[in-house]
Amino acid sequence: MRTFAAVFKNDLRIIFKDVKALLLLLIMPVLVILIIARAMTPFLEQSAFIEPFKVALVDKEDSLWTGILSAQLKGLEIIEKMIKTTEDDAKKLIAEGEAAAAIILPENLSDSINYWRPEQGEVLGSSSLYLESQMIKNVALVGATAVSSGLAALNTIYDYEQQAGFDDQTLYNDMVQANERFIGVVLGRKTIFAESEDQAVSVDPVTFYAASLLAIFVMFSSIPCIKMLAQERQLGILSRVQAAPTHTWQLVCSKLLISILLSLIQFVIIGVFLSLTVKVKLGQTLLPIFPVFLATALASAAFSLFVAAIATRSAAIDLIANLSILLMAVIGGSIYPLSAMPEISRSLSVLAINRWCTEGFLGVLTSGTSGDYRNSLAMLLLLAAGYFLLAILFMGMKRRRVTA
């Protein structure tokens, strides 16, 4: 224990010797979180990748009903502006890229529906705004389907009433009434689809990036420690220690402990920053958050050990560690949310420490102490064990190569 204390004290001394690097290591996370959160917020807040666009409306009937229909279309979030115009002007607008599509409502549309022989409407699309055109086409299809189903319903009512022996006048009155009610219901779609806000606690972009980038910083903070180990090997200090009444694992453990300590300081700094800026009350969630953090630090330490096992020289460790951490940052959803990533990234992210750290933290932050973080915790511990075993395996292989 005395020798371990000496090793630990010496490692601390080396780390704290480079004050500038240490300050950078501790302050950088806050700066990066701020910059990335600010840069990525517009992307996070968008519900779709397609920006709202303009649509031309050619209303050949120009009645009260088509007016209501036009107002309903204007209410769609994807439609930035509805330009009421003629068919020729609509074509011009599409050609000039001013409108993504044009909806052409035929003359006598309402009457044709009333007489159960609906006139065909038209949608003119733009080849340069293909996705937007397709969306408008789908909106029109949905409308057409609603009309068809309404007519089918009216037909059923008509058949039943006729078989029941209703007189012609009653039959006519009932049909007109049902028709108007149906059109009213379809156009007032809010009576069919009730819109409601998701009541789950939303995550502030700064909190999201703080949670998702913390694992990255934890991983980065383990690099200097593991580089120290490589330098000790290069300088011959490790072999000299082997000749002393101590063990090399004490040197390794000391480095891991230092890397966890640095991570803890980063965690505290980020925690204080979050409490002050976005008013995240970490105090209430500290109990479940801390095990997630500790498991992240452990997994990162095991990962850095694995890197040290596959690379012996300090420069190689730097290269491999930095590239792998950047790769994890991307596939683990620390730069862009995992839900918006392709399937392959989501599958690969299982191996990324930052994915589970983010999920664990966000699980707790969005649901309080009852948040489900156990799955993330288990995955982080599993990754720690996996990387640790791989490190031992590679170290063993290296030793066998040397002694063979």
Partner 1 sequence: MNNGAFITVNNIVKRYKKRTALDHVSFDIGKGEIFGLIGPNGAGKSTFISLLATISKPDSGDICIDGRSIIKHPGDFRGRIGYVPQEVALYPMLTANENLDFWAGIYGIEGQQKHHRIKTALEYLKLADRANDKVKTFSGGMKRRLNIAASLLHRPEILIMDEPTAGVDVLSRNTIAEMMKDLQRASCTLIITSHYIDELELLCNRMAILNKGKLLYTGTLNEVLKKAGADSLQTLMLGLEEA
Chain contacts with partner 1 (rule: CB under 8 A): 2-3, 5-7, 9-10, 13-14, 17-18, 235-237, 239-246, 402-404
DSSP string, 160-187: HHHHTT--HHHHHHHHHHHHHHHHHHHH
Q: Cβ closer to partner 1: 269 or 395?
A: 395
Residue in this structure with the two tokens 């009653």, named with its chain if needed: 170
- Find, among 390, 393, 213, 223, the residue nearest to 301 by Cα: 223
Q: Closest separation between CB of residue 359 and partner 1, Å?
A: 39
Instruction: Name the DSSP letter for residue 245.
Output: T
Q: Which residues have C-beta within 8 Å of that of residue 378, sequence separation ≥ 6?
A: none
Chain centre distance of CA 16:
37
Kindly state the tokens that stand for 376: 């993330």
Q: Closest separation between CB of residue 249 and partner 1, Å?
A: 14
Q: Cβ closer to partner 1: 114 or 246?
A: 246
Q: Is 247 helix (H, G, I), strand (E, B) or coil?
A: coil
Q: Closest separation between CB of residue 5 and partner 1, Å?
A: 7
How far apart are alpha carbons 207 and 364 in whole angstroms? 12
Q: Cβ closer to partner 1: 8 or 388?
A: 8
Is-contact 332 379, C-beta < 8 A?
no
Q: Cβ closer to partner 1: 14 or 310?
A: 14
Q: Cβ closer to partner 1: 11 or 61?
A: 11
Instruction: Name the DSSP letter for residue 342.
Output: -
Q: Closest separation between CB of residue 18 and partner 1, Å?
A: 8
Q: Cβ closer to partner 1: 21 or 176?
A: 21
Q: Cβ closer to partner 1: 10 or 162?
A: 10
Q: Cβ closer to partner 1: 41 or 248?
A: 248
How far apart are alpha carbons 157 and 198 in whole angstroms? 38
Q: Cβ closer to partner 1: 251 or 380?
A: 251
Residue in this structure with the two tokens 């050990």, named with its chain if needed: 305
Q: Closest separation between CB of residue 6 and partner 1, Å?
A: 2
Q: Closest separation between CB of residue 243 and partner 1, Å?
A: 4
Is-contact 332 338, C-beta < 8 A?
yes
How far apart are alpha carbons 232 and 258 in whole angstroms? 15
What DSSP element (H or E) covers 54? strand 53-59
Q: Cβ closer to partner 1: 142 or 397?
A: 397
Q: Closest separation between CB of residue 253 and partner 1, Å?
A: 14
Q: Closest separation between CB of residue 15 and partner 1, Å?
A: 11
One-letter amino acid of 256: L
CB atoms within 10 A of CB 352: 26
Q: For residues 207-235, b (16+ Cβ closer than 10 Å) or e, as one string?
A: bbbbbbbbbbbbbbbbbbbbbbbbebbee
Q: Closest separation between CB of residue 24 and partner 1, Å?
A: 17
Q: Closest separation between CB of residue 234 and partner 1, Å?
A: 9
Backbone angles phi, psi at 297, to 5 degrees: -60, -40
Q: Is 137 helix (H, G, I), strand (E, B) or coil?
A: helix
